[in-house]
């Protein structure tokens, strides 16, 4: 040890909602050849996993999960499979390429974001790790450089680097920050007693894969009426729990939509009080609901450093 005190970061890895998600076809060339092409809007919310990251002078990376609102039973049994670990290792490689001695970190994740819910918990935690360690390790990577690293980790990771609502195309990596639509300050999110695997959804024979590409400003301004989620009919068909939660939320809020490839469902609400009222009603009436989240649209990073 050099005697230099370890630096620390504590911050929220915000979850996301896809206000809509359309699949336009398959990409025919380039590095994403064969992948599905999509259009979506990522809305970040002030709810998610919390990360405590303590930098160290030795190169070891440790990742520990701690139960919060969500169980940690789905933590990867092999650390090399953890997206947080892979993000840290990717940055260590950059340090080596810069001619620096790689530093390490002890990372603690408090798990809140639903697993298998389509809210981007793993992607957000990986992006937050990149942002935090870039500063703690004094790598000084630019935003474009971090985005390049992020897309190697996963298609949803780049949007969390920007930490703002964004229109996305391609496989989700082509991001254009855009102001969120009106009347989207508060959301109620229902977590069903069910999970969905993304690969299963993309492989489903009934998945709509040919939605025509749409204009961003128009689609955003009419996202509740002129847009949808390609996975939603499949999710409701495949899971009784998701279907029950979908209809309960629509009855209570006048709207319901799947986020990502599922399984969570959301609706915009006028206020926190309305969201809490809807949450209480659903939890009292619907056994298929595991829990309900009421959260505000994410505006500024909620973090503390020492």
Q: Which of 186, 139, 172 is nearest to 292 (CA)?
A: 186
Active-site residue, selected from the candidate residues 49, 82, 111, 156: 156
Rounded CA-CA distance 143/161 in Å is 8
Active-site residue, selected from the candidate residues 16, 49, 82, 290: 16
Q: Are 194 and 239 in contact (CB under 8 A)?
A: yes
Active site residue 31: no
Rounded CA-CA distance 98/102 in Å is 10
Q: Are 256 and 187 in contact (CB under 8 A)?
A: no
Active site residue 16: yes
* Catalytic residue numbers, as ranges: 16, 156
């Amino acid at each position: 040890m050099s005697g230099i005190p370890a630096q620390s970061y504590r911050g929220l890895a915000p979850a996301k909602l896809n206000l809509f998600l359309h699949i336009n076809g398959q990409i025919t060339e380039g590095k994403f050849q064969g992948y599905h092409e999509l259009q979506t809007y990522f809305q970040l919310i002030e709810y998610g996993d919390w990360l405590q990251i303590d930098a160290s002078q030795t190169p070891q990376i440790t990742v520990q999960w701690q139960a919060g609102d969500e169980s940690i039973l789905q933590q990867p049994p092999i650390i090399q499979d953890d997206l947080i670990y892979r993000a840290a290792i990717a940055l260590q490689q950059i340090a080596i390429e810069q001619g620096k001695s790689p530093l390490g970190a002890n990372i603690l994740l408090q798990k809140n974001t639903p697993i298998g819910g389509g809210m981007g918990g793993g992607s957000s935690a990986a992006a937050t790790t990149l942002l935090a360690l870039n500063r703690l390790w004094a790598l000084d990577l630019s935003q474009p450089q971090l985005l390049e690293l992020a897309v190697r980790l996963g298609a949803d990771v780049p949007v969390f680097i920007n930490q703002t609502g964004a229109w996305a195309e391609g496989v989700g990596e082509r991001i254009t920050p855009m102001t969120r639509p009106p009347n989207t300050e508060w959301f109620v999110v229902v977590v069903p007693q069910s999970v969905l695997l993304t690969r299963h959804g993309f492989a489903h024979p009934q998945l709509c894969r040919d939605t025509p590409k749409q204009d961003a400003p128009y689609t955003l301004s009419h996202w509740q009426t002129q847009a949808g989620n390609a996975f939603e009919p499949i999710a409701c068909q495949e899971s009784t729990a998701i279907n029950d939660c979908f209809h309960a939320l629509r009855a209570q809020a006048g709207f319901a939509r799947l986020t990502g490839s599922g399984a969570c469902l959301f609706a915009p609400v006028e206020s926190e009080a309305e969201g809490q009222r809807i949450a209480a009603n659903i939890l009292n009436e619907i056994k298929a609901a595991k829990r309900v989240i009421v959260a505000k649209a994410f505006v500024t990073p909620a973090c503390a450093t020492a």
